[in-house]
């Protein structure tokens, strides 16, 4: 106490210190769950990156851009040096020297030196507003902790790892994000750590007994299914339905059936090509049951999808409420509704359930009959589509168009209903080998372009190509479209179309999903057996998109939430910390780096959006496309100002998440 008095002086300060010390054990205990999850570390562990005095004396530059998690030892390894000429960081003018160094993190020793190559002889890139130089250190393969150093300006990058498997911890966090999106379940401390809430959306008039919603032409209350296109099953007295479970779609708490098609396709693709990457001990409630945790997570979503199927085989379009405010999920007491069935939701249901029916077959001892149940449900849904050959409702809307029930899940894109039907047939053909589904596929017009592959609309053909017996003529068209697309993109060329080595034509709402999709296009080349010596280059091109997500982009953001010391402790030093999400909303203990916890780790944010709509919020408005981003989550500011619509930039979504997980999984473990 005398020592405390000498250093702390007044008694009230000593009392404050003692109170803080009393709180420490509880805080430490509440964080212990992380120690049980692979990739989540408490405190300094062997191998953690530690900087010595000389390393600390070097100034960190946000303009020396690296993958903040690291590179695989045998991968192409390129650091980027950026001089911002336009955009939100244009005041940070920077000109590197002619050479760069790779230095060890623990002692600052230089272990590799190389020359910098300017992109297109110093041209300013329109998509980023930057001049960019590249420094290739692919020849260096020794595992360890490193950083890039600019000897001319005495500046360093963020630290990173070189090792055989630098992304295992990242994959764990990205997959666990789906657990945090679960609806209708308690997120408990032993599984969620600091990110917890009681069960959500199981109160009165919510998901355990949701009413059907169909717009009433006179503006009467919902739950009166009298629209002339309302299915016979809903025309009589409104029937409540158990639609609990599944994942919240995004930052809101709605659940959309049509969006499950590609979400599940990506996650199943990730598992099928690299099952060893997905273990059974990632600290979710089902961990240790003998089934990979990713499949347990998929089952949570699939069980909800099965509840959405009506007696005639059709599938309800979505579950939603009539209003939405940012708050923890368990505090959302609004009544919830399910909208009427649609043909496109039914087709999307088939895509997910038929596809998943195959991967659950080896786990009969844990989930007996589950794969067969999924396949039966998919066939029932197909029978409904055969009796309903045209899009229904014909408007392309599910008649949930009153105030807040209106967003999303409307098949309003040209031909989307037909695309999903084709995809459904392809998944059923792959699951059953039945000629019934092949005949349907062969009878449809081939929508493949001769010179361009669409990473969403053309996935039906990829599924078909994976199935023995696929039409050779269609395979030729698919390979030609993909070949033509990939031959126009070369991220490995120092003077290629994007100095950040991850080309995307437009940065729209949800651009991070498109980034992942474009990376996956290169990997699909192997799956559909494109021939030639370019396959290795395709794989290398795909990996470049991964580095974009991990910090090698014009703003240096790691586009996954809370991956640093406050959250996943996976190595990222500049992770996004403010995402638009009802749970991690503005002013909560999960709001940003200055909050108590920050958001839950591992969520992929929406990404730069050059079409961001709010002119008075700059940035991101008015930025070069790749810089149209801001780390914030404001909806409606105080004092009645207009909305800031941060959801157009930072909102996560299960389909963004799944696309990233799929891309990442190709580079984890022995892959």
Question: Domains in the chain, please, with CATH?
Answer: 2-30 (no CATH), 53-165 (2.60.40.10), 169-412 (1.50.10.10)
Three-state DSSP at 125 gives strand
| Digit-coded pLDDT (tens) for 96-114 | 999 999 999 999 999 999 9
Distance CA 351, CA 150 (A): 50
Q: How many CB atoms lie within 10 A of CB 615?
A: 9
Q: Which residues contact 592 (CB under 8 A, 6 or more apart)?
A: 577, 578, 598, 631, 633
Q: Which residues contact 297 (CB under 8 A, 6 or more apart)?
A: 175, 178, 179, 284
- Region 482-510: what's the mean pLDDT? 94
Confidence of residue 640 (pLDDT cuts 50, 70, 90): low
Q: Torsions phi, psi of 182, nearest 5?
A: -60, 140
Confidence of residue 56 (pLDDT cuts 50, 70, 90): very low
pLDDT for 387 beyond 80: yes
- Region 506-533: what's the mean pLDDT? 90
Share of the chain above pLDDT 70, in %: 84
Distance CA 569, CA 41 (A): 6
- Region 239-254: what's the mean pLDDT? 96
Instruction: Out of 131-140, 275-284, 398-407, 462-471, pick the least confident.
Output: 398-407
Distance CA 50, CA 48 (A): 6
- Region 651-668: what's the mean pLDDT? 99
Chain centroid, CA 266 distance in Å = 10
- pTM of the predicted model, to two decimals? 0.90
> Which one, of 606, 590, 551, 607, lies nearest residue 180 by Cα?
590
pLDDT for position 342: 93
Q: Torsions phi, psi of 337, nearest 5?
A: -130, 155
- Region 646-659: what's the mean pLDDT? 98
pLDDT for 495 beyond 70: yes
Rg (CA), the chain: 26
> Which one, of 272, 416, 423, lies nearest residue 358 by Cα?
272
The answer to whether 511 and 607 are in contact (CB under 8 A) is: yes
């Amino acid at each position: 106490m005398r020592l405390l008095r000498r250093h702390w002086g007044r008694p009230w300060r000593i009392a404050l210190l003692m109170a803080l010390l009393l709180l420490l054990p509880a805080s430490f205990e509440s964080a212990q769950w992380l120690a049980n999850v692979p990739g989540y570390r408490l405190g300094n562990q062997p191998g953690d990156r530690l900087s010595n005095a000389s390393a600390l004396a070097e100034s960190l530059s946000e303009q020396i851009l690296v993958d903040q998690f690291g590179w695989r030892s045998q991968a192409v390894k390129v650091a980027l040096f950026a001089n911002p000429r336009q955009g939100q960081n244009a005041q940070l003018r920077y000109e590197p020297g002619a050479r760069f160094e790779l230095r060890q993190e623990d002692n600052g020793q230089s272990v590799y030196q190389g020359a910098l190559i300017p992109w297109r002889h110093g041209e300013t890139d329109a998509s980023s507003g930057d001049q960019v130089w590249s420094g290739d250190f692919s020849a260096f393969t020794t595992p360890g902790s490193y950083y890039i150093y600019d000897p001319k300006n005495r500046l360093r990058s963020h630290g990173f790892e070189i090792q055989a498997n630098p992304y295992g911890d990242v994959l764990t966090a990205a997959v666990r994000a789906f657990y945090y999106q679960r609806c209708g379940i308690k997120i408990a401390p032993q599984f969620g750590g600091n990110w917890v809430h009681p069960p959500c959306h199981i109160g009165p008039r919510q998901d355990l007994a949701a009413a059907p919603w169909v717009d009433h032409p006179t503006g009467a209350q919902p739950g009166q299914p009298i629209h002339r296109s309302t299915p016979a099953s809903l025309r009589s007295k409104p029937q409540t339905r158990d639609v609990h479970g599944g994942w919240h779609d995004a930052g809101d708490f709605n659940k959309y059936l049509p969006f499950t098609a590609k979400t599940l396709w990506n996650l199943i693709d990730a598992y099928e090509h690299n099952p060893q990457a997905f273990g059974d001990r990632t600290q979710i409630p089902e961990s240790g049951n003998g089934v990979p945790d990713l499949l347990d997570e998929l089952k949570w979503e699939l069980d909800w999808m099965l509840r959405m199927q009506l007696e005639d085989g059709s599938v309800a379009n979505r579950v939603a409420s009539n209003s939405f405010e940012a708050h923890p999920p368990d505090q959302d007491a609004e009544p919830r509704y399910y909208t009427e069935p649609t043909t496109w939701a039914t087709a999307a249901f088939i895509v997910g359930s038929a596809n998943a029916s195959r991967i659950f077959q080896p786990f009969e001892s844990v989930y007996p009959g589950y794969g067969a149940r999924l396949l039966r449900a998919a066939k029932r849904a197909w029978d409904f589509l055969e009796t309903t050959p045209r899009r229904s409702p014909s408007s392309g809307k599910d008649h949930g168009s009153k105030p807040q029930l209106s967003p999303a899940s409307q098949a309003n894109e040209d031909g989307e209903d037909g695309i999903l039907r084709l995809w459904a047939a392809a998944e059923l053909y792959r699951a059953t080998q039945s000629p019934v589904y092949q005949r349907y596929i062969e009878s449809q017009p081939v929508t493949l372009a001769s010179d361009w592959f669409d990473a969403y609309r053309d996935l039906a053909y990829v599924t078909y190509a994976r199935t023995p017996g696929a039409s050779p003529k269609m395979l030729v068209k698919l390979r030609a479209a993909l070949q033509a697309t990939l031959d126009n993109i070369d991220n490995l060329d120092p003077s290629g179309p994007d100095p950040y080595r991850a080309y995307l034509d437009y940065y729209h709402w949800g651009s991070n999903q498109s980034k992942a999709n474009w990376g996956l296009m290169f990997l699909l080349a192997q799956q559909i057996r494109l021939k030639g010596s370019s396959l290795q280059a395709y794989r290398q091109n795909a990996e470049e998109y991964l580095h974009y997500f991990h910090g090698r982009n014009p703003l240096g953001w790691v586009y996954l939430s809370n991956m640093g010391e406050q959250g996943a402790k996976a190595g990222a030093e500049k992770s996004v910390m403010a995402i638009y999400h009802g749970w991690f909303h503005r002013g909560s203990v999960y709001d940003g780096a200055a909050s108590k916890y920050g958001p839950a780790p591992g969520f992929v944010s929406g990404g730069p959006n050059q079409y961001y709509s709010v002119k008075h919020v700059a940035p991101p408005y008015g930025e070069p496309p790749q810089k149209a981003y801001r780390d914030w989550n404001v909806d409606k500011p105080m004092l009645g100002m207009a909305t800031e619509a941060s959801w157009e930039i930072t909102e996560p979504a299960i389909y963004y998440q799944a696309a990233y997980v799929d891309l990442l999984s190709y580079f984890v473990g022995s892959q």
